[in-house]
Each structure stands twice: as structure tokens, then as C-alpha cells.
Structure 1
């Protein structure tokens, strides 16, 4: 592919991969000599990878209504180092502000195809190689779950998909800082279980956690910038596998800068947590999981 080229999403199945990250919103407190690291290096790493695209579960600036934050944490970081190399989709977070905030003006999500919504607000779904991707917006997630999500999950595009992946900023389940979101456990989780969503990706907590419950993988990939040092385990979920009470390798509480890479092939899909040191150097893969097992 030449410089500046792109390809459209394949309609038929073919192997592909994508990256997921979250909470790249601020300065990295673990590296006072360069507070943009390791986030800049993580964006460059995803951009240089063979991934076909990326998805973020939001919090792309400390204050999405502030231009200075939008410039230094999104335009000069995510857009510059990742967005020039890969397309990416946004499941907005609470720090991204609301409606027509300045940050959201720099996006072009498929939510623009829904009546009453625009390219920078609202839930949306898209297909890639016969897989379905569903992204919720923090600012409208409860109403979208009530009025839109089940219809989407019943659509031919979703029902006939090989795999279904869902992205929501706030995790239904979490072990450190918060225990997740009780309303999402009541409304979202039953829909994912009923309609065969295989993985739910979140952020909000600035750490890495992973669990598996009723055939749904729950992945928190919140290691995009500063980490939740000082927070403690507030809930021990029995289905949690790593993060929280269980270290991820040498990382207590899942406190590690990372992103998740998903590789989809004829056999299914597998996930890898790719970790980085505070100076931006790559640690490598510290956790793996597979679609049909924890």
C-alpha cells in the first residue's frame, strides 16, 4: 500500500486483526521526564502494526470540551501517531464531554447514519469481514441500550456475524477503584448473553483486567496514560481472571500501560495484551486469551 492509501472493509470473511485501547487522556505520571510516554509510543506501535483498524473505548482528553486538552492529548497524540496510519472508531467516554464538544468535532463515526445523531455522538455499529462491532457512547449509553441496542443485535448484520464485539467505556464488572456499573449489569449484560456478544471491551479504570462469564469475555484496557496507583480492590468478582486481586504477570492490580490486540482467523479469535514500560519501550505480550475459553 502506498503512502496515504486506504482500503474499504471486506464484505466476505478474511483473517484480520484490530487493536483496542482506552483512557489515553492525560499525562503519564509514571514518566516525569516525558509525560507523553509511553502513550505516544503505544500509538506509534499500533500504527506500525499489521492491524487493520483500532477501536478506543474513550476518554481521549482530560476535558473534551477544552481545546488545549484536545490538542495535546488527542490531535498531537492519537490522531498524529495512530490516526495517520490506521482508521479508528470511538466509543466515547465520560471525559470526552457531551454533544458538540470540541473533541467530538474531530470524529466521523458511523453514528452519523442514525437519525437524530451525528458523527461525534451516539451509539453505532459496523461490520468488518463478517464480524459485527458495536460501540456505545457514555453520554447516551443507557438510553441507547433501552431503545436501540436490542434492535441492532437482532439485525441480520449482527445475527449472521461470525463474531460480535461490544465496546462501552464503563465496565459492567471491575475490581479496583469501582466494582463496575450496576445498571449495565442489569440491562447490558443480559442482552450480550442473549445475543451472543463474545467480548465486551471497556476502560474507565486505568488498569488492565480480564474476566469470563457466561461465554462473554470482559476486558478492561484502561492503561492508555496515567495509571490508578493508590486505588485498591473494592470487589472480588468470582469470574475475574487477571487484574484486580490477581496480578498480570509482575503487575500488581493490573497497573500497566497496555493495549489489546485481537487476531481473527478461520479458527476463531484470540487476544493479546501488549505492555509497555514508562519510557515507551515495549515489554511484549503479558496476557493471552481465546474466544472459546478464558
Structure 2
């Protein structure tokens, strides 16, 4: 038999064998074993056109025919990534993450990237000093603090001890004649630890004429990179020019902890105005004992805008920057003091110290000839006599309503009796302006700290005034026609929040 026939015969035999099998009628179904569980085949979400992956498999095989995806987000992603070859579409999610990060960084660049990068540089610089990896240099650039009408303190900090450093200064009166005789300022230093050495120099005997002071820090000859020279305005007396501004004072308070917001406030103030002095109503740092706070939250921001080196500070201490020992290495050993600048008698009080000694000093100061003859009498005290916004629980249950209460109960009547014109305070983190008879009260605690929005008291002095729950700064101008012009500005948008004018009530001599 041929092979063909054999094959054919075999096929026929199989066919016959199948036909010879007994037929199963409809009443006798084929037995099914119940010992084997049934297998369920699930269709992957991506194959059905649903789920986050959408129609990923639609383009993989022509036999997979489905309708369009119902996932709009997936369709949008496919459209956005249509420029990518389909074979590489599996990398789209890393691309999405990359594009999202790029968009975020772009946004930060046009919004706050410069601010955050500046804050980061403050932190990195401070860490480098703390780890003692930097050569001998300035941790804190020189900062100026007004001590009295003819004395300014120059305070700086280094990471090394150089006993031979000295300071000299030269005065330049406004009429242009330069005093070529350099005057040396007494310099001392205090070692807080091996990388924090605070230097203090005193510029005393400054001439009682308006002009500029140039001061120079002379390092040892082997450390010439530490040489520094700066100039600031000294305006002890108002010139007899009725048609011009005499001096400009910037005013801020309570920048504690919020470095980024503090930078915005300083940037807005320095970009739009030139100031001769800076008033700070306290709480420059959150923790007085933290050397890092003083570095990154106060000194570095002021140095970033060259304010500390060229603008003397009129400073009072708040509850967060109060030193019970009275050392104050970064601001000078001062609690209460007074001086005259541009016709304004500044009376700086300490709301942290309830003492009879301060009471007697204040009464003597208000009766002094310098206070009586000044164009304006201005009191600077951190806690306002009339704090109206605070945290309710702390105010009621933690006794914080009693902080500085002596300023209201004992000092207000004394200030009114001696014709004080203006009281500037901080502590409360917002802006307020009120009035009681002829005396104006202001709260300027908006230089960075979280804003206070809970009202805890209802004092009558604020009834006809202004309340602004905004971060802000103040510009105070003194003019030759014996006016004090007050303007408060929003630090975010630059809008003017408030303004008023005081006319001197002191009789002309």
C-alpha cells in the first residue's frame, strides 16, 4: 500500500472510531469534575480602555479593537505627549513628573525663588561658620545702634579673635568741608564661644551738626581682607529749611522667625524709599538665646540690603529678645534711653521690666529741657498700652493679658501730661492706629511674624482709627516746617495702608 493510501486509511480509521463512540443524549450531560476550580481570565484595565493607563494597548496590536478611551485625563496626557514615538510612550510618566517640576521651578523663579535662595544662602553660611570650615572673617557685618545724640555703637561678629582690630571715623558736614582728623573709637570684644566673637566699638563725641560719618575697621596687617569702610547720615538737629524733608525713618517690628517675609518687607522698603534711620520696635528673633536666630533671622537680612552698615538702628527690646541679665551683646547693653534726632525726642522704654527705677527715669526725662524743646516727643515701647488682637487662649488662660500692663496703668497718664505726640509699639502682629485726645497710638508688628486676627479686647482708642491685617512697614518723614508725616505701606503690593500728619505743638523759639 502506498504511503498516501496508508495515511488515508489511518484518517478513516480515526473517523470510524469517533463515530463508534456512544452518543450522549440531552438528558445525560457529560460529567464535569468539581475538584478543579474554574479559571477566571480577567481583562487588564489597560486593554479595555479604562483606568489610568487608558488605551495603552490600543496601538500595540491591530487585532485589539476597542472604542475610544473614556478617561479624559488619559486622553489629555496622550495628546500632550503625542510628539513622543509610540514605542517610547512607556516613559511618559517620568516625563510628566519632570515637566511638573520644571513648571514649579519656573513659577518659583518668577515669584519667590530669589527669596528662598537668599534664605538658603544665610543658612549655608551659618552652618559653615558653625562647623568651623571658613577662614577668619565676618559672621555678622558691622551694624549701627544709636546710643545717644552724639554716640553710635558699631557691633560686628567674627569667627576668630583679633585683639588688634581698631576702628576710626571721619565726619563730613553737609557744607562740604571734610574733617581730615580721624578719631579712633574704643574697641572691645566678647567671646561667646570659639566661633562667635562679638566686637563693639563706640563712636562718641560726634559733632552736633548734620552731616555724614565715615567709619573704618582696621584689621591687623596680615588680615587685609577684613578691611571695611561705610558711611551713614548723622542728623542730630533740624536744619532751618522749611521747604524740604529733614530726615526719613523706616519703622518695623516683629520679624521673628519668618525670614522670607522679612526679606520681602526690607526689599519693598529699600526699593521705594531711602531712609536715614531704622526704628525697630522689638522681637527681632524668636529665641534670644539662639545664636543662629540672630545670624540668619536678623543680621543677615539687614546686611543683605546694606541696611545694618549704613542705617543706624533705633532699637527697643521685645519679649522674645529680652535678656534678663541685661547683656545684649548684639544690640548694646541698653534698656531705656533717650536722644534727639532731626527734632524728634525718642524715648525708648522696656516693657519687659516693671520697675520703679524706670518710672523715675521716665518722669525725669519727660521734664527735661531736651524733651520739652523737641518738635515731637515719640515713645517707643514693644508692648502697646492697648493690645487688642492676640491669641484668645493665651490671652485669657495663660495670663498674657498682663504682659506690660504697667505701660497702660502707670505710663499713659504721664505721657499725656507731658504732651507726648506719638507712641510706637509692636508685639501685636498687624497694623493699628488710634488716638486718645492729642496722643496717637500705633502698632507696627507686621515685619514677618504670623498675623494676629483674633480680637481679645475692645479699647476705645482704636474706635476711629485703622486696623490692617497685613505685613507692612512704615515711613516717617520730618519736614523743615515742623511736620511729622506718617505713611504705612503694604509689603506685598506696595499700596499705602494709612497716612496721617502731626504738626508740632512745641512753641517756636
TM-score range, shorter chain: 0.7 to 0.9
Cα offset, 1:214, TM superposition? 1.9
User: Per chain length, whose mean CA-contact separation is higher, i.e. which structure has more relative contact order (CA < 8 Å, sep 6+)?
Assistant: 1
Q: Could you tell me which residue of structure 2 aligns to residue 77 of structure 1?
A: 301
Backbone CA RMSD of aligned residues: 2.5
Q: What are the within-5 Å matches in structure 2 for residues 104-183 of structure 1?
A: 104-107=328-331, 119-140=332-353, 142-177=355-390, 181-183=404-406
Q: 1:124 to 1:285 in 2, by over 3 A?
A: same
Q: What are the within-5 Å matches in structure 2 for residues 191-202 of structure 1?
A: 191-202=414-425
Asked if 1:18 corresponds to 2:243, the answer is no
Contact 1:21/1:222 (<8 A) preserved: yes
Q: 1:37 to 1:151 in 2, by over 3 A?
A: same
Q: Deviations over 1:160-196 (max 9, x none)?
A: 1111111000000122116785321221111110111
Asked if 1:7 corresponds to 2:228, the answer is no
Asked if 1:90 corresponds to 2:90, the answer is no
Separation of aligned partners in 2, 1:167 and 1:24: 17
Q: 1:242 to 1:158 in 2, by over 3 A?
A: same
Separation of aligned partners in 2, 1:162 and 1:286: 26
Q: Give the alignment's TM-score, normalised by structure 2.
A: 0.47
Q: Could you tell me which residue of structure 2 aligns to residue 113 of structure 1?
A: none
Q: 1:101 to 1:63 in 2, by over 3 A?
A: farther
Separation of aligned partners in 1, 2:303 and 2:407: 30
Contact 1:123/1:140 (<8 A) preserved: no
Contact 2:253/2:282 (<8 A) preserved: yes
Separation of aligned partners in 2, 1:153 and 1:133: 11
Separation of aligned partners in 2, 1:5 and 1:288: 31
Contact 2:352/2:404 (<8 A) preserved: no
Separation of aligned partners in 2, 1:12 and 1:255: 35
Cα offset, 1:121, TM superposition? 2.7
Structure 2: give runs of 5+ residues left out of the alignment: 1-211, 215-228, 241-245, 396-400, 505-509
Asked if 1:51 corresponds to 2:282, the answer is no
Q: Give the alignment's TM-score, normalised by structure 1.
A: 0.80
Separation of aligned partners in 2, 1:50 and 1:141: 37
220-229 or 45-54, larger mean C-alpha shift: 45-54
Correspondence for 2:476 among 254, 262, 269: 262
Q: Could you tell me which residue of structure 1 aligns to residue 460 of structure 2?
A: 238
- Counterpart secondary structure, 1:270: strand
Separation of aligned partners in 2, 1:19 and 1:142: 30
Separation of aligned partners in 1, 2:249 and 2:325: 28
Separation of aligned partners in 1, 2:333 and 2:323: 9
- The structure whose Rg is larger is 2
Contact 1:59/1:92 (<8 A) preserved: yes
Separation of aligned partners in 1, 2:294 and 2:475: 25
Q: Deviations over 1:13-49 (max 9, x none)?
A: 462221211101112xxxxxxxx33311322344452
Asked if 1:216 corresponds to 2:439, the answer is yes
Q: 1:141 to 1:85 in 2, by over 3 A?
A: farther
Cα offset, 1:59, TM superposition? 0.4
Cα offset, 1:151, TM superposition? 0.6
Contact 2:336/2:358 (<8 A) preserved: no
Q: Deviations over 1:244-272 (max 9, x none)?
A: xxxx4xxxxx2211111111111411211
